[in-house]
Amino acid sequence: MPRIAHFLLHPELADSPPNDALRQAYAELGYEVDLFAGGFGDAAHPATGAPPIARVDYSRRWLFENAWRPHWRRYAAFSCTCEDPAAVAGVLSRLHRRPLVVLADEIRAGAYRGHAPESWKRLCRAGLRRAALTIVNDPSREALQRDYAGLSPAQPVVVYPGGYRTPPPPVDRAVQRAKWGFPESATVLGFSGLFGVGNGGHWLVEALQAIPDLHAVVQPLWTDEMTRFLLPRISGAERLYVEPTRLGWRDAWSQAAAVDLGMAIYLQPGEQFQRMGTSSNRLCMFLAMGVPVIASRQESLRFLEEYDCGVLVGSRAELVEAVGAISTRLPAMKVNARRCWSEHVQVEARYRELAAAMRPALS
């Protein structure tokens, strides 16, 4: 069976919804996938059946020492997430004359360029330009990716959102709330992902203090020691639950079913953060679980208000108002959230488009 080498920025991304869909599409087309990632060593993912992940270093030295090795020729194609993996996958694709598929889950343009030297950035963009197929996670990002990578109008770009084709089953609401120490009748605001100012973490704390009966759950990717020290000491801390360890992707999705409202706030200045749309894993997670969303006011998220399953906000005060507004109409907005997931996010239809576009790209 032909094989594809897929390069991830971090091993944890192997189970993310877009990477899960990518592996499914490769398998459907008759390919086996070997996973590679930078910096974290080998890891296994028995919960989803992913193969072990081999370590690579995203550096020129690693390329000089490894790119020429003949064992790379056993692969029928290469694929990668962004951005550092594109440098390695791009060189391997060019050197061994194999097609390249790029999952542009991050677009390191403008204020979000990062701190890499420009010489390395050029190598990354050269890899992005080699893509026989580029996948972005929201239609609003296609133009940004084309401009940043320098893609020609003839190079295909397809959209696959930040959601699972088959979402994991929801937890039992009463059981999960008991584990959090919350009353079953409480209004619970959910937060998932990076917990910081750029994602509205400070707004959540202030909302907790402004609304006396509000409860909140945080599923952080990680928290530093100072944050761990301060959170239990804030006013309203008795109504806040912070997961002590990072949850797996599917566990986080399942537990989201036990909250009433979700946050998808993006305050970072980078261009990609102003074009979040369905690229947001947390937004897709909440909608799939029937949870209305309070999100940043931007054009790519306007569909939340069009489907009446969310409220767009631009300040802490507006977030507090949104909590109250959604709470009074929660049953109807939960139904609308599931309808939005089905009609707007359209995961299965997007997957079929992805699989159809992948066949000619790999030939």
Phi and psi angles of residue 291, each rounded to the nearest 5 degrees, phi first: -110, 120
pLDDT for 49: 52
Yes or no: say if 144 and 272 are a contact pair by the CB < 8 Å rule.
yes
pLDDT for 50: 55
CA-closest candidate to residue 57, choices 91, 33, 88: 88
CA-closest candidate to residue 25, choices 158, 220, 170, 156: 158
In the numeric block, which tokens belong to residue 221? 């990717």
pTM: 0.94
The CATH label, of 3.30.70.1090, 3.40.50.300, 3.30.750.24, 3.40.50.2000, for the domain at 173-345 is: 3.40.50.2000
Tell me the longest C-alpha to C-alpha distance in the chain.
Answer: 64
Yes or no: say if 52 and 44 are a contact pair by the CB < 8 Å rule.
yes
Structural domain spans, the chain: 3-161+347-362, 173-345
Residue 195, CB-side half-sphere exposure with 13 Å CA sphere: 22
pLDDT for 41: 43
Position 13: which residue type?
L
DSSP string, 42-76: ---BTTTTBPPEEEE--SHHHHHHHTT-GGGGGEE
Q: At what angle do helices 118-129 and 142-149 cross, to 10 degrees?
A: 120
Q: Tell me the C-alpha to C-alpha distance, in Å, between residue 318 and each of 21, 112, 149, 325.
A: 36, 26, 36, 10
pLDDT for 40: 61
Q: Tell me the C-alpha to C-alpha distance, in Å, between residue 75 and each of 2, 70, 93, 293, 358.
A: 7, 10, 10, 42, 16
**Alpha helix (H) residue ranges in the chain:** 17-28, 60-66, 84-96, 118-129, 142-149, 173-180, 201-210, 225-230, 249-256, 281-288, 303-306, 316-327, 330-340, 347-362
- CATH code that applies to domain 3-161+347-362: 3.40.50.2000
pLDDT, one tens digit for every residue, the chain (363 residues): 999 999 999 999 999 999 999 999 999 999 999 999 996 644 444 444 556 899 999 999 999 999 999 999 999 999 999 999 999 999 999 999 999 999 999 999 999 999 999 999 999 999 999 999 999 999 999 999 999 999 999 999 999 999 999 999 999 999 999 999 999 999 999 999 999 999 999 999 999 999 999 999 999 988 888 888 999 999 999 999 999 999 999 999 999 999 999 999 999 989 999 999 999 999 999 999 999 999 999 999 999 999 999 999 999 999 999 999 999 999 999 999 999 999 999 999 999 999 999 999 999
In the numeric block, which tokens belong to residue 276? 């979040």
